[in-house]
Structure 1
Amino acid sequence: MSIIFSIFILLFVIITCFLTTLSTSAASQSLHPDELNALKEIATTLGIKRLNLSAEDPCNIRTLMIIQEKQDVLLNSAKNNSIVCDCSFNNNMTCHIKVIELKTLSLPGKLPPQLAKLRYLQKISVCANRLTGNLPRGLENFKNLIYLSVEANQFSGTIPDELGDVTSLTTLHLASNYFTGSLPSSLDRLVNLEDVYVNVTIL
């Protein structure tokens, strides 16, 4: 009986230490300060009026703390508002955003050029909002981007030639906007594209 009890105590100690280590590691990980500041600029440009970045690190809660105008509740936290980070930098202490999804939130602003400051981004999805204006310049700075969805918004103007420089893209959704002109020939350089959705876009 004493042997069994000793084994039980040992297992309990090991599990407790393991869970404590995990908790400490998660708590010590944080989003890079430059990206945290960029998120503030991005939120303003998108038309987000109330954003709480001080309560908890976005990489830990995997979402943006967007607060509704009249009530302090998280706006569509699980379904349409998500952030995924890679926290393997600086001995697992520093995180960089690799996915940002802000979908079906009726955001009234513009697509922020500050997104290029999130240089580890692999996926951007802002579909089904009310975003206006042109697609921003500087798209060529997205060196790791593989997924871009801006469909079902109110974007206008021409599709920038620089989009053809994002050669890592595999998915490109531009449909249901008000683009004019024609598809730039530079898109021929997107040799990795597997999924293109432009069939409802006015060209």
Structure 2
Amino acid sequence: MSNPRPYATLLAKGEERRQRILTVAQRLLTRNGWRSITLGQIAREAGVSPAGLLHHFESKEQLLHAVLDARDAYDEASRDMPGDIIERIEGRAERFRQAPDLVSMFAVLLIENLSPDAPLHERFLNRYRSAVDIVAEGIREGQRAGKYGTDLDPAVKAVEIIAFLNGMETSWLLDPSIPLTEVFQGYARSLARELAPSSGDS
């Protein structure tokens, strides 16, 4: 009977190499943006051959999508956090501290892919629209439950909230000394006042 352990060890080494490539790519993308880096640079920084990198990622675009997949997986893991929209926004500062590399990389790639002909534009646009829809539905749920007033448009308010979050990522990338906790708590309090039911909702 053959010993399966060498194969398992090979798989583990391959996954470790893949993760190392992703980590290096995140760092270089944050520092230089996608236009200024090459697969060769990433391979050198990760300590692998160009052929070794291409074994895991067939193109630069595939690698870009893979690093964004890591960010999306992080967001998915925190999507089921308890609390309503206001509570989640209030705690958002902690997520900046937990994954600063992912936050920074996302902000840089977003700005670089605003043009419709950029390689990741469609993905960022779809992600943005999905985020707006999720926040808008959260507001509607609060309205149906009587927690939020019905005199505002959830879709419009969701655009504002996502703009705040994206803007904070960019501002924090520019100036890491921003008092994140205080800013997010202040915005959450302001949002709570705006969303609160008025006398006409009773």
Q: Which of the pair is proportionally richer in strand?
A: 1
Q: Which of the pair is proportionally richer in helix?
A: 2
The structure showing larger relative contact order (alpha-carbon pairs under 8 Å, at least 6 residues apart) is 2
